[in-house]
Amino acid sequence: MAWYPVSQVPPPLLLIHLLDSRFEGFLRVPDAQGELTVYFRQGLPVRSECKNPALAAGALGEHLLELFSSGVEQFQIEPMSIPVGEGLNPLPWIRRGLRERYDLARLENETRELSRCRIAVSPRLDAAVDHFELTPPELEILRQLKAAPSTITQLRGTSQLSFKDILSLLYSLASCRLLQSVPLEAAEAAPVGAQPEPQPTASSVPSSPEPEIIAELHQLTASLQDENPFVRLGLPLTATMEDIDARFRELARKFHPDTLARKDLSEFLAEAQDVFAKLTEAYNLLKEDTSREKYRKPAESKEDLAEVRRVLEAEVLYQKGIIHFRRKEYGLAEQMFLEARHKNEDGSHLAMWAWLRYLNPDNDRKAVREEVKIALQKAIQLTPREADFYFYLGKVCLDMEQIASARQYFNKAVEINSEHIEAARELRMLERRAKHAANPIAHATGSFLNLFKKKD
């Protein structure tokens, strides 16, 4: 089974994907004290088990919360038949996991796309909102979003919730596709019939250009919109803690509100206060070793996350194909492996599709074996250390009477895995076949002459 990094498939997106796909099987995460396994049926968690003594007695919901812990870095999933059980609604637990197990830096990192747009509600929200068990202040945020698309900054200015609670709410809903992003340009366009903005009077127009420090303040305000604190402070990702300290002190001295007040620039105090708060926030994120190292990694783009989801979906299809293969449901297995191959053509997906295409009795084996042979050769190029792939290719070559090639592939399978029983058996049969071919008369008469051997 493959391991998937949590940094690329965060827990909220993973649980929603399993719910959407009506996944049946288990999700496993490693733990130094004992791994945690959650079993799903029709996309809902139905039971769990944990080998960590400190967590073993926990209920299913508490085990779901562990998926959101910062120490969880990877996970496995595997489809399998799960007995009927009472399913647990995962949506409130996603909310709790984000509130209780995520820190602010992690929330900001995973919701960075939301910070770049105005947010509106999906038409599907009303039908799903009761499943989240939201509080009155959270429902008030949804009413505000229904009234007009809003940015996170605007929501912070009107809500009594903390910044972290706002982000966790929006993340929960966005992961379920219950929110919609509205480009800033579109949201800011003046509505039809709106009154024009009043033009500044002559007295309101500055009589002289803004001082250089104000131009720099405006530029810094723009850069502080980035989600990465290194970028906010104008530092490379390789900056040391000494670099960070020096840069923060430099910017703090230059743009502190008191500095602008002393320069008779009081009309820019509000902007300076906002800048100073964001500078401090960025510095605090970089002070901690773990947070600093996390932000050194380039952020994944939407394309990166889409690629991870595609690979994850391919793995689910592949595991379903394995189940059908073990049940000798060759037609269904071939279809699952074909869909997995279309989503992500790695060596395993390609090889298993080719082998099931060869085994499927609904196919004309002679008509497909050349196609199968080519596909298996390509799979071996992609994954050269998989003994089974050589065994499959050897069997196809044997069927095509390409004896030398078959022997070569069986030998390779045994070389990679000395305990490959099937390949070793095929080699013994080829050896006997070669001996018989070398002495056909002895082969034809051997059994008959044995009747006349003198018994001891």
Q: What is the pLDDT of residues 117-159, one digit of tens each?
A: 888 888 778 878 888 888 888 999 999 998 888 888 889 888 8
Distance CA 425, CA 407 (A): 11
Helix/strand/coil for 26: strand
According to DSSP, the residues that pair with 40 across neighbouring strands are 25, 45
Instruction: Determine contact, residues 194/187, Cβ cutoff 8 Å.
Output: no
Instruction: Determine contact, residues 345/320, Cβ cutoff 8 Å.
Output: no
Distance CA 312, CA 153 (A): 34
**What single letter denotes the amino acid at residue 370?**
E
Distance CA 21, CA 235 (A): 42
Residue 58 phi/psi, 5-degree rounding, is -70, 155
pTM of the model: 0.46
Instruction: Determine contact, residues 45/88, Cβ cutoff 8 Å.
Output: yes
Angle, alpha carbons 425-428-434 (nearest 5°): 145
Q: Which residue has the tokens 């074909």?
A: 338
According to DSSP, the residues that pair with 45 across neighbouring strands are 40
Q: Which tens digit of pLDDT belongs to each residue from 64-101?
A: 999 999 888 888 888 888 888 888 989 989 989 999 99
E strand or H helix at 304: helix 302-326
303-438 CATH: 1.25.40.10
Distance CA 144, CA 127 (A): 18
**Where do the structural domains in the chain lie, given as residue ranges?**
4-88, 102-185, 212-294, 303-438
Q: Which tens digit of pLDDT belongs to each residue from 289-325?
A: 877 888 876 555 555 556 667 877 887 888 888 888 9
In CATH terms, is domain 212-294 a member of 1.10.287.110?
A: yes
Q: Which tens digit of pLDDT belongs to each residue from 24-80?
A: 899 999 877 788 999 999 889 999 999 888 888 889 999 999 999 988 888 888 888
Helix/strand/coil for 11: helix
pLDDT at 267: 75
Instruction: Determine contact, residues 135/152, Cβ cutoff 8 Å.
Output: no
Number of C-beta neighbours around residue 275 at 10 A: 24
In CATH terms, is domain 102-185 a member of 1.10.10?
A: yes
